[in-house]
Homo-oligomer: A and B are copies of this chain.
């Protein structure tokens, strides 16, 4: 049962609903959105005249299993990272190196991606690596470099967190927490991210269904954090020509199912530098709210993922087009007129 409350609903209504659910042994969660409005999800059905409670706007008996993430009670959520809005009318480009390699290198990269048009800086301080012998990132030193790059460039920062105990530390430096593909179903980590007080970029598990992904987002929402951005980053397939298959079908599908913003990672989603620009543009055309791209001043010298990393110049070509692509592919009558004018 999804119960949507009015913006001015009394706190007592939420408390009542949760108490009733608790008395019946039904799992239940409330979630307050940053722009006002609260929703209560109950895994089951509450009895009585709920519509008569003060501040209740809507009651839905049948719904998706991801009650809080579902679009059934809310059109869209705009997630703010620093002063950047993800999920609004303009696509957002996050960019930066795979891994933070050093202070100066990071600041150089940050300046370059900002100049190309990116508005959020990405970079890994803690890296999940397939091999225990590979470089695992600079750790907290990397976080400090990220914070310094933010000070220098003004770009808010997103970086990955690998385990529950790191959440507080990373949240102390970063503007947004990234949960990686391999950790999409790391439930203790999702729970902790739910109470981190920072927006979360939740990457899709590379063999997760869209429903499993939304259930993972639900863990974060159910623990109090409404600011989740979903990131399609490629799924595993049978063709060795590609590291992963960027699954753009998932983008418009998610737009039907959830109010959360969706961004696309064409770097991991292709694994191949020459495909990144095209697939970035295709991602925006599919309806994504933004991109996250691996960029390095010299991709061939990158400490990790060089084969899928583009240059700032290539990023510029993307950034120059994303607003226009978003405008042209918007499906309302105004955009059609704009299209006609352009075409």
Are A281 and B248 in touch, CB under 8 angstroms? no
Flag if A343 contacts B321 (CB, 8 Å).
Answer: yes
Interface residues in A244-277 by Cβ distance below 8 A to B read 245-249, 251-253, 256, 269-270, 272, 274-275, 277
Is A317's CB under 8 angstroms from B331's CB?
Answer: yes
Pick from B128, B236, B238, B248: contact of A185, CB below 8 A. B128
With A282-B285, A328-B324 already in contact, the answer to whether A241 and B210 are too (CB < 8 A) is yes
Give the residue among A248, A270, A336 with the most B Cβ atoms within 10 A. A248
**Known pairs A238-B238, A252-B279, A286-B278; A328 contacts B321 (CB<8 A):** yes
Given contacts A162-B187, A252-B279, contact A325 B285 (CB under 8 A): yes
**A188 and B207 form a contact (CB under 8 A):** no
Q: How large is the interface on A (under 10, 10 to 19, 20 to 34, 35 or more residues)?
A: 35 or more
Q: Are B165 and A165 in contact, with the CB atoms below 8 A? A: yes
> For residue A163, which residues in chain B have a CB less than 8 angstroms away from its CB?
163-164, 186, 188-189
**Among A76-84, A106-114, A215-223, the stretch in contact with B:** A215-223
Shortest C-beta distance, A247 to chain B (Å), equals 6
Report Cα–Cα, A287/B340, bound state, in Å.
Answer: 21
Taking a contact as CB atoms under 8 Å apart, the answer to whether A131 and B343 are in contact is: no
For A339, give its contact among B209, B256, B321 (CB under 8 Å): B321
A119-161 with Cβ < 8 A to chain B? 128-133
CB–CB A249/B245 < 8 A: yes
Whether, in the assembled complex, A329 has its beta carbon less than 8 Å from a beta carbon of chain B, the answer is yes
Alpha-carbon separation in the docked complex, A323 to B328 (Å): 11
* A197 CA / B326 CA spacing, docked (Å): 42
Q: Give CA–CA (A279, B253) in the complex, Å.
A: 10
Q: Are A329 and B43 touching (Cβ within 8 A)?
A: no
**Between-chain CB contacts (< 8 Å), 15 pairs:** A128-B185, A130-B185, A132-B187, A132-B215, A132-B222, A209-B238, A209-B239, A249-B269, A249-B270, A278-B331, A279-B286, A282-B282, A282-B283, A317-B336, A324-B342
- A162-B188, A321-B328 known; 7 new pairs, CB 8 Å cut-off, are A27-B133, A246-B249, A248-B248, A248-B279, A256-B274, A277-B331, A282-B283
